[in-house]
């Protein structure tokens, strides 16, 4: 059985300790998933390092799951919300604007062929 949408947040101000915590958590997750006959598609798994725009030194520990190095991503979609590594809303707002534009066009097109009561 495959697992979808799990999230893990690991924090530490020391880079070495952050790597140690990451390795420990990943090892615990691998053990738990194997014990419960659950699979994770490592190819679809993304890693993010949250930071502000002013950060010049990004801390990105190596993340290895089932002997595969996982790639970092700058943006992901979780429960319909676009999340970026800088925790800005720009991407999510743009996505909503695009959806609203499509719906607006559809309503406008329907107004030309249907009565207002039917819309």
pTM for the model stands at: 0.73
Give domain limits for the chain.
1-73
Contact (Cβ atoms closer than 8 angstroms) between residue 69 and residue 93: no
Residue 112 CA to its chain's centroid (Å):
40
Q: Which residues pair with 75 in a beta bridge?
A: 84
For residue 1, give the DSSP letter. -
pLDDT in single tens digits along all 119 residues of the chain: 777 778 999 998 889 999 999 999 999 999 999 999 998 888 888 899 988 877 766 788 899 988 889 999 999 998 899 999 999 999 999 999 999 999 999 998 888 888 877 77
Following DSSP, what letter does each residue of 32-89 receive, concatenated?
A: HHHHTT-B--GGG--B-----TT-SS------EETTEEPPB-SEEEETTEEEETT--S
Q: What is the pLDDT of residue 57?
A: 67
Q: How far apart are CA 14 and CA 70, in angstroms?
A: 21
68 backbone dihedrals φ, ψ, rounded to 5°: -115, 130
Q: What is the pLDDT of residue 56?
A: 61
Q: What is the pLDDT of residue 96?
A: 95
Q: What is the pLDDT of residue 72?
A: 92
């Amino acid at each position: 059985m495959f697992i979808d949408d799990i999230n893990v947040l690991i924090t530490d101000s020391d880079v070495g300790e952050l790597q140690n915590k990451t390795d420990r958590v990943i090892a615990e997750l691998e053990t738990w998933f194997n014990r419960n006959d659950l699979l994770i598609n490592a190819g679809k798994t993304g890693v993010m390092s949250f930071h502000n725009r002013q950060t010049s030194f990004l801390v990105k520990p190596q993340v290895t799951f089932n002997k595969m190095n996982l790639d970092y991503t700058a943006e992901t979609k979780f429960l319909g919300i676009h999340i970026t590594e800088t925790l800005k809303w720009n991407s999510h707002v743009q996505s909503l604007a695009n959806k609203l534009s499509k719906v607006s066009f559809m309503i406008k097109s329907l107004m030309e062929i249907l009565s207002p009561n039917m819309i």
